[in-house]
Amino acid sequence: MAAPLPEAILGSSSGRGAAERKGPTVLTTAALLAATLLGAAATAPLPVAADISVDLAVTSTTYLLPGANFELSITNQGPEPLTSATVVVRFGADGGPTFPTPCAFDSAADTLTCPFGALPVGGTAKISFTAYFAIGGPPMHFTNTATRTASTPLDPDSANDSDSVRCDYIGSGGFPPPAVRTLYC
């Protein structure tokens, strides 16, 4: 049974107040719509949500091969604790082996899929790894992007679900590669 409607949205055929009303109550279309929406809002449970923000930090390695150290982190902005999340890192150049990581590397797609577990509101979790790139030849730049692809509970704000970092490759300088850094992120 619906809750009684507030006097402010009730009307009557006579235009008299509630104390003087004797005839049937007349509701306008707007009043019926408001009552329906307010009634549904009052009885519907609020959805459980955890807003996850993604951060990707990349720094170049000083090794002979073009590589970079990655730090992938997520922060739970709330309002509820996070049960789990999945973040996919898409490499902008041919990504190679990644070490060490609990993530799964897909060489055909140049992606790394990283699972995260439970996280309280305000908590941050990080995964660090090193990736090497199968690039060579002339200078180029590329972008690495990390994106939240799934989470439980649902994420109500997709605006902070992705982060990108640009890297610049200055060229190989021939073979064997020079003993200088060739990738800057």
Each residue's pLDDT, cut to its tens digit, for the chain (185 residues) gives 444 444 444 444 444 444 444 544 444 444 444 455 555 554 556 679 999 999 999 988 866 667 888 999 999 999 999 999 999 999 887 766 666 678 998 888 889 999 999 999 999 999 999 888 777 667 888 899 999 999 999 999 999 999 999 988 887 666 665 666 777 88
CA distance 77 to 91: 26
> Over the Cα atoms of the chain, what is R_g?
28
Q: How many CB atoms lie within 10 A of CB 131?
A: 24
Q: How many CB atoms lie within 10 A of CB 45?
A: 5
Alpha-carbon distances, residue 45 vs 40, 76, 165 (angstroms): 10, 22, 39
Instruction: Give start-end residues of each CATH 2.60.40.1510 domain in the chain.
Output: 50-184
Alpha-carbon distances, residue 132 vs 26, 58, 72, 83 (angstroms): 73, 12, 16, 31
How high is the pLDDT of residue 141? 86
**Topology of 50-184 in CATH?**
Immunoglobulin-like (2.60.40)
How high is the pLDDT of residue 12? 42
Whether the Cβ atoms of residue 74 and residue 148 lie closer than 8 Å to each other: yes
pTM: 0.70
